[in-house]
Amino acid sequence: MLIENIGLLVTHDAERPERSGAAIVIENGRVAWVGDWTGAPDADERIDAGGRCAIPGFVDSHSHLVFGGDRAAEFEARMAGRRYEAGGIRSTVEATRAASDAQLLAGARRLLSEMRAQGTTTVEIKSGYGLTVADECRILSLARTLTAETTYLGAHVVPADYSGRRDDYVALVEGEMLDACAPHSRWIDVFIDDGAFTVDEARSILTAGIARGLGARVHAGQLGVSGGVRLAVELGAASVDHCTYLADADVEALAGSAGAGAMSRDAGGSAGAGAVSRDAGGTGAAADAAGVGAVWAGTVATLLPGVEFSTRSPYPDARRLLDAGVRVALASDCNPGSSYTSSMPFCIALAVREMGMTAAEAVRAATLGGAQALRRTDIGHLRVGAAADIVLLDAPSYVHLAYRPGVPLVHRVIASSTE
Ligand code: NIG
Ligand code: FE
């Protein structure tokens, strides 16, 4: 299939990250050719992009889509001046435990289809609203039917039924609950912040998960500075998410996380071989400065501006991170408490308006950055060999994603990696 007459094509190719007047050929779900429209080869099927901008499908590397109920009242109270607290998670835990599998799946599918309509072609889904062995396991086995990127987040908060017994809960999370959830998970995550888990608890839980072959990810720096970011780097986590509050030492640790030779051709890496198999193979392309074609082995800082919007908090300083050389991803964190948006274009608009990112940086963070945060080489870019996950925008440039906030600019989504 040939997509011709692309006004502006974003590939993230190291030498030529974007090109105008382009065409792209798709064969067997992969990008087979990229070049000038005028020199495009013949194809059986043609799509006329009509001069539109084409970008890689968004890689939303942080979401919590499987839950019951909503928290509109809590949002209203926050808009009236109340602070966001991690404890609000417990009300969703109650609603999630009470929901049937069919209800949970229907809710997650609805959000997934919202995401797809807004250009997201890969999504990571975390558990974290069950917090019993059976409910965490149930959430992950449902999530696994929707994505290969599943994350075990038994350590979201200490549930009400364990109040005063947090050591027992930590033991459960890294013991029996991990045993039950690991077969459904690729990743393990811990929420390190006030009202959630301490750095020492997180070290113990993440180490147990890594020993089970799961890759590590961390929630840290949402509510204040803690040692969570440095712990993530120390443990070789693929991503540390939120990063709203950062000490200079955190930024330095993230910038140094890739180290020498951190780009590895070994797609397994510390991301481990969770029981969910996936195609991390990519194209066999050689490593390059852009990090396309090789697994990024450092720790990505994943920024979630939907949270700051919805909790009325200061936005993270993306400029500080980018200028220090940190890899940055953008994700929705779609969840009923802190960020009930499924829209990556909305996150891009916030990143440009509020976080010091250029539109090009924000689009890159929402595509290639997300892929790096998931240690994937096959998605997030459109070089030859990539999965043909392509979004055509009803706009001549991706700048319009920020320039025209709230406008449905996604014209067509080609999602080869999930079809
Ligand atoms: O990523 N930070 C922790 N967890 C979610 C919030 C979940 C909730 O409030 O229900 C987050 O923001
Ligand atoms: Fe989250």
Band (272; pLDDT cuts 50, 70, 90): very low
Return the percentage of the chain with pLDDT > 90, whole number. 89
Residue-by-residue DSSP string for 40-103: PPP-SSEEE-TT-EEEEPEEE--B-----S--HHHHHHHHTTPPP-GGGHHHHHHHHHHS-HHH
Using CA positions, which residue lies closest to atom 9 of ligand 1? 337
| Residue 219 alpha carbon, nearest atom of ligand 1 | 2
Domains plus CATH for the chain?
A: 2-55+395-418 (2.30.40.10), 57-380 (3.20.20.140)
Instruction: Please compute the mean of the pLDDT values over residues 301-329 and round it to a whole number.
Output: 97
Q: Per residue in 385-394, pLDDT tens?
A: 999 999 999 9
Report the pLDDT value the prediction gives residue 292, as an integer from 0 to 100: 64
Index of the ligand 1 atom closest to the CA of residue 153? 4
Neighbours of 32 (CB within 10 A): 17
Answer yes or no: is 152 a known binding residue: no
**DSSP letter at 382?**
-
CA 195/CA 191 separation, integer angstroms: 9
Closest ligand to Cα 194: 1
When pLDDT is averaged across residues 354-364 and rounded to a whole number, the result is 98
Which residue from 181, 6, 166, 156 is spatially nearest to 88, judged by alpha carbons? Answer: 156
The pTM of the full predicted model, rounded to 2 decimals, is 0.93
Asked if the model's pLDDT at residue 35 lies above 50, the reply is: yes
